[in-house]
Amino acid sequence: MNNLQEAASFLYQSDDFLVVSHVKPDGDAAGSALGMTQFLRDNGKKADVLFADDIPDKFKILTSIDYLRNTNDWNTGKYQTLLVLDCARSLRLNSPCKIENFNGKVINIDHHIDNDVNANINVVCGNASACSSMCADIAMIMKNEYNWHVSKECATLFYLGIVTDTGSFRFSNTNKDTFLSASFLLECSADSEAVINAAFFSKKENQQKFEADMILNYIKRDFNGKYVWAYLPQELFDKYGFDMKDGEGVIEFLRELDGGIISVLIYPKDDTFKVSLRSKDARYPVGPIARSLNGGGHEMASGITARNISKDELIKALQTKIGELFK
């Protein structure tokens, strides 16, 4: 169901919100969750936002909200409403708690077509460029119908989510509605310059060295150069003291290579392997590959958390599936 009007009405009538998103929050998760929390607070609602995983350091300058890192209040009655944003799979919820154990109403707003969150209200739009663009559209409805205020900080955070999930309006998920949402946020004084600087021009020196080492020593190409991939071992992260929570754009170095169509980045995380997949050609979608390996996401940008498999088995499985796609 895609009913932004129903979502707006629900938010208007509800209160005492706990806002959550997915693990390892990226720009859209941070932007939508922090932006919606700010929006609710600005208009007289009680709202907290929970990130069990820290948001990227470079985005912290855009918000004044002190977000929760852990909470014992999930099911004690403190929060009447759970607002789930940009979380395609319930297993990827950025919380140690489970949605089905929440003692209250749950609303789910997302733009992933494979969303499996079972809420009281599910607002899922696979054509939306970002969850933040859906949040901006909801804010527009509430501004027009309920005279709600959209502050500069709120607009800036929603703009962050749109800019990062569209690669600054470069990716194929950008459409006319994307620009309409962005235009509304700019009318609400979104700080475009601050967003661009935070998203694309705020790398720390250790990240630049990490990326340079990756480019020089770890990138590989197969299938006549159409498949560009890299496995990044833990020692590379340790060498530069780099954490992938700040590495949202690292895979772009693989995607930029001339002649490449599908890009894959693989690295270990605790007892799993994280896999990011990107495609530059709609004839070769990576979404089905991710879903076949218990991952998910969009057709052109998806991810996997791989468990109970060795590095070599994972690399071979990806190579086999990508090879079949190129046949």
Write out the DSSP string of 11-29.
HHH--SEEEE-BSS--HHH
Contact 158, 143 (CB under 8 A): no
DSSP code of residue 93: B
Helix axes 176-187, 152-165, angle to 10 degrees: 160
- For residue 22, give the nearest of 96, 65, 108, 86 by alpha carbon: 86
Cα–Cα distance between 139 and 146 in angstroms, integer? 10
Dihedral angle sign, alpha carbons of residues 300, 289, 210, 280? negative
Name the class of domain 205-326.
alpha beta
Return per-residue pLDDT of the chain as tens, 327 residues. 459 999 999 999 999 999 999 988 999 999 999 999 999 999 999 999 999 889 999 999 999 999 998 777 777 788 999 999 999 988 888 777 788 888 899 999 999 988 999 899 999 999 999 999 999 999 999 999 999 999 999 999 999 999 999 999 999 999 999 999 999 999 999 999 999 999 999 999 999 999 999 999 999 999 999 999 999 999 999 999 999 988 888 999 999 999 999 999 999 999 999 999 999 999 999 999 999 999 988 899 999 999 999 999 999 999 999 999 998
pLDDT of residue 193: 98
Cα–Cα distance between 268 and 152 in angstroms, integer? 38
Question: Cα angle at 317 between 314 and 318, to 5 degrees?
Answer: 85
Q: Where are the domains of the chain?
A: 4-200, 205-326
SS3 100: helix
SS3 268: strand
Q: Where are the alpha helices (DSSP H) in 188-244?
A: 192-200, 205-217, 234-240
Contact 269, 235 (CB under 8 A): no
Q: Tokens representing 220?
A: 């590989």
Residue 284: other Cβ atoms inside 10 A: 17
Q: Which CATH superfamily is domain 4-200 in?
A: inorganic pyrophosphatase (n-terminal core) (3.90.1640.10)
pLDDT of residue 1: 42
pLDDT of residue 2: 54
Write out the DSSP string of 152-181.
HHHHHHHHHHHHHHTTTTTSTT--HHHHHH
pLDDT of residue 114: 85
